[in-house]
Structure 1
Amino acid sequence: MKRLVVVGTGPRLYREFMLRQIGERYEVHLVIGRPAEWETPYIAGATVVPGMTAEGIVAAVGEIVARQAVHGVMTWAESHVVDTALAAAAVGLPGPGPGAARACRDKHATRSALAARGVPQPQSVLVGDVAEAHAAAEKFGYPVVVKPRAGVASQAVALVRDGAELAEHFAPAHRLPAADLRSPDRSVLIEEYLTGPEVAVDCVLRRGHVMPVVVSHKELGYAPYFEETGHWTRGDDPLLGDPAITRFLTQVHAAVGFSTGATHTEFKLTDEGPKLIEINGRLGGDLISYLCHSASGVDPGLALAAVSCGDAPDLTRTRALCAGIRFAYPPWHRTRVEEIAFSPAGLPPEAGLAVPLVGPGEVVLLPHKDLMEGRVAFVTATAATREELSDALGRSLAALRCTWSPA
């Protein structure tokens, strides 16, 4: 059994299933910022790094490697992508490379790398104030997208249609921290708005070879924000085998210099072909890996573990179903939750998980400029077709029983 270092775990609800499956195949040593809790059954050991600083993580991985043979180091945590790449490089283990990890973390660096290689993407300008933002928007023509340089989960990303809306949405994007980036005072991107469906592909890479693992399709809501209200995937999605998509993904990864690891790449399917929205140096969130396993039998977490140890991943598909997740939101801008639970009798047979995310007494807010955490529950389902899946997700959410009031 190979020994694998995993840096960070993230929320139990969204990542436990991956750690469990990896723990069955690998001897896992965890690097974490607190004593191991729910992770304990799946690991062989843990090193606590207070504050989970980059220096602490690199030193911890180095000490683990000095004590025993280690075959790989990996993470699925956005905040530790660069730290893990630094640690892998320091001990000579496979990884994306620190430069590639930084290029994925910094959206302006991504744009610059792709522009140098001529990879299709929207026009984009890095700005430092509202005046520069207005100038960029006038150059591209409204509507434009306002995007923080280092944000995650679409936080503070908005579609604006005129100068007044641009001024309104600039400040939230500018407030998001960018201290770990070069020129942090210039922290907002103004980008051309692309039309066409948006999809995401999670890939694993081994020595530069790009292997698409799962295609996920977004459900969006709460305009002008890009709140991801759900995702769905298909085990035999034709985009997985589309040569044009594979070529595009290969161009994107080559441009940022990504060698080994996993990525979550989002792009629009425009009339001119695929154009990159962003690339993240880790697997997708929102249980996309769980949906992939449900729909195809492929486990992205195990695929990442394999390439992190220098091995070829097993991407054998054993089923061709549709799987999805959909989130529930409160009815008012500020809502006080009094009771929340799912009625088991109301869940259809296709339902998988049905999980409240808040409890009695909590006050939740709808997505707005500074907050993208308005979710109160989620459901998953698996079905034979996209239509059956959508119906099952709708019936599953209808089984949510809530008592709440404006706060």
Structure 2
Amino acid sequence: MSAESYLLIIGSGPREYREELFRSLSGRRLWLFTDRTPTWQLDYIAGHTVIPQLNAARVSAKVAFLSEAASRLTASAAVEGVLTFEEMFLSAASQLADELGLPSLSYGAAENCRDKQRTRELLTAAGIRQPSFRFARSAEEASAIGAEFGYPVVVKPRGLAGSMGVNLVHSAADIEEGFRIATSAARIGAQRHGGGALIEQYLEGPEIAVDSVVVDGRLEPLYIVRKRFGPKPFFEESGQTVNADDPLLLDAELMAMIQAAFTALGLRNAMTHTEVKLTAAGPVIVEVNGRLAGDFVPHVAKLATGLDGAILAAQVACGEPVDTARRVRRSAAHQIAYADRGGRFNYISLPDAGSHPYLVASGTLLAPGATVTLPPDGYMARCGYVIVAAPSADECDASLAAAVRDMSVDITPSRDATL
């Protein structure tokens, strides 16, 4: 690689989830576009550009600021690829890569993934199994759709990530509140896909994700993510498990459905995280994300399979051959400890590594004194985590359960906290 060539990273995200990705890429020359002066990122990057307006709500504004900064960078150096791990920058990063003539998801495909209504419409038109869905612009429209579908229904913002604002509504009496929760979360997340919310038929069955690499439109599945969720009516993911030998990797029907979805959405070159419900009638796509998975999934997957998602994403972004050889075959998992009440976070007790032979890592996600807010009022309830890896799925499950039992959260409740 030329001394004056860089892999351009747009945004970084929280250190707890992203430092492992930057560490994986530290063998490359990285240039970071960020909205604030880097701190921990400095250990891994060759240079950076601070763009205070990077979080602008409109993609056109983001792209304008990114293009200006990229022009200054390319005046003296080459950009070999453009990469982001952040949902909010996906469309802008794809358009910038398009402008620079580099491999990308493409701006159109990024928007097809980010706009959940557009995703549903395109996949349904292609004959791919979807929940029944309609878009509601008001609580009254949401109520009419709920009556048409029958309860329960899922109400979700149109263009956010991380399950923010997604909630399960069991009856007509609760649909107005469900609609309010979704639209309020959209405002918190600076949603730019318009007001209103998507109303979907609720489907029974476990939810998984298929993480894959796509090169020139061709799907290559990497691993299956088995998901766990916090208490209903919300859909916040509390943990995930990856087994290198998950039998669903060999499910031809599942993989054919995902390939057809990628074709319908126009995905060309990307890492993808596709969420799927396994129903009695067969697999049904919940969402398609045109980026590397969030949370600790890349770390867990690397422990289970040896596949490094950050390196794979960089290879795709730079148009290099993608190495998907599995060098490890075991099971790994993580679990998030959530607060059960709002208030002031004091501390979290974590398992002793000496008592848990398969414990890989544990840590806290909040600083002492931090304010804890639970959905629907806020999304600051993650207090700590554990990560385990073991030779078999049974040993992994047992190790995770034992580690979780040794975690406890201490919170001083707020006056109006609800248990």
The answer, yes or no, to whether TM exceeds 0.5 is yes
Structure 1 residues 41 and 336 mapped into 2: Cα distance closer, same or farther (>3 Å)? closer
What residue in structure 2 maps to residue 320 of structure 1? 329
Deviation of 1:265 after TM superposition, in Å, equals 0.8
Q: Deviations over 1:342-387 (max 9, x none)?
A: 253664010011101223323324x422433312111000012223
Structure 1 residues 402 and 250 mapped into 2: Cα distance closer, same or farther (>3 Å)? closer
Q: Distance in 2 between matches of 1:62 and 1:104?
A: 28
Q: Distance in 2 between matches of 1:206 and 1:58?
A: 25
Is 1:373 paired with 2:380? Answer: yes
Structure 1 residues 196 and 180 mapped into 2: Cα distance closer, same or farther (>3 Å)? closer
Selected match of 1:82 from 88, 91, 97: 91
Q: Which runs of 5+ in 2 are unaligned?
A: 55-61, 415-419
Q: Deviations over 1:161-198 (max 9, x none)?
A: 1111111111121221387645x13x300001111211
Q: Distance in 2 between matches of 1:370 and 1:218?
A: 24
Number of residue pairs aligned between Structure 1 and Structure 2: 402
Is 1:382 paired with 2:389? Answer: yes
Q: Distance in 1 between matches of 2:284 and 2:97?
A: 31
Alignment check: 8 A CA contact 1:221 1:228 kept? yes
Selected match of 1:394 from 393, 401, 404: 401
Q: Deviations over 1:287-325 (max 9, x none)?
A: 100011000101011111001111221111112111001
Q: Distance in 2 between matches of 1:370 and 1:200?
A: 28
Q: Distance in 2 between matches of 1:399 and 1:180?
A: 38
What residue in structure 1 maps to residue 20 of structure 2? 17
Deviation of 1:336 after TM superposition, in Å, equals 3.1
Structure 1 residues 404 and 247 mapped into 2: Cα distance closer, same or farther (>3 Å)? same
After TM superposition, the structure 1 stretch with the greater mean CA deviation from structure 2, 149-158 or 293-302, is 149-158
- Residue 63 of structure 1 aligns to a residue whose secondary structure is helix
Counterpart residue type for residue 44 of structure 1: A
Structure 1 residues 342 and 80 mapped into 2: Cα distance closer, same or farther (>3 Å)? same
Q: Distance in 2 between matches of 1:345 and 1:323?
A: 16
What residue in structure 2 maps to residue 40 of structure 1? 42
Counterpart residue type for residue 293 of structure 2: G
- Residue 50 of structure 1 aligns to a residue whose secondary structure is coil
Q: Distance in 2 between matches of 1:109 and 1:403?
A: 42
Is 1:27 paired with 2:34? Answer: no
What residue in structure 1 maps to residue 342 of structure 2? 334
TM-score normalised by length of structure 2: 0.91
Q: Distance in 2 between matches of 1:154 and 1:402?
A: 23
What residue in structure 1 maps to residue 100 of structure 2? 91
- Residue 79 of structure 2 aligns to a residue whose secondary structure is coil
Counterpart residue type for residue 305 of structure 1: A
What residue in structure 2 maps to residue 146 of structure 1? 155
Q: Distance in 1 between matches of 2:376 and 2:411?
A: 23
Structure 1 residues 221 and 249 mapped into 2: Cα distance closer, same or farther (>3 Å)? same
Deviation of 1:77 after TM superposition, in Å, equals 0.7
Q: Distance in 1 between matches of 2:321 and 2:81?
A: 13
What residue in structure 2 maps to residue 203 of structure 1? 212
Selected match of 1:73 from 72, 82, 90: 82
Please show how residues 49-64 of structure 1 align to structure 2 within 5 Å.
Answer: 49-52=51-54, 53-64=62-73
Q: Distance in 2 between matches of 1:85 and 1:151?
A: 17
Deviation of 1:83 after TM superposition, in Å, equals 0.8
Structure 1 residues 303 and 361 mapped into 2: Cα distance closer, same or farther (>3 Å)? same
What residue in structure 2 maps to residue 354 of structure 1? 362
- Identity of matched residues, %: 35
Q: Distance in 2 between matches of 1:339 and 1:110?
A: 41
What residue in structure 2 maps to residue 121 of structure 1? 130
Structure 1 residues 381 and 309 mapped into 2: Cα distance closer, same or farther (>3 Å)? same
What residue in structure 2 maps to residue 222 of structure 1? 231
After TM superposition, the structure 1 stretch with the greater mean CA deviation from structure 2, 135-144 or 392-401, is 392-401
Selected match of 1:242 from 251, 255, 259: 251
Alignment check: 8 A CA contact 1:206 1:312 kept? no
Structure 1 residues 110 and 352 mapped into 2: Cα distance closer, same or farther (>3 Å)? same
Alignment check: 8 A CA contact 2:129 2:283 kept? yes
After TM superposition, the structure 1 stretch with the greater mean CA deviation from structure 2, 98-107 or 52-61, is 52-61
Deviation of 1:36 after TM superposition, in Å, equals 2.5
- Residue 73 of structure 2 aligns to a residue whose secondary structure is helix
Q: Distance in 2 between matches of 1:215 and 1:59?
A: 39
TM-score normalised by length of structure 1: 0.94
Deviation of 1:403 after TM superposition, in Å, equals 4.1
- Residue 204 of structure 1 aligns to a residue whose secondary structure is strand
Q: Distance in 1 between matches of 2:228 and 2:348?
A: 24
What residue in structure 1 maps to residue 417 of structure 2? none
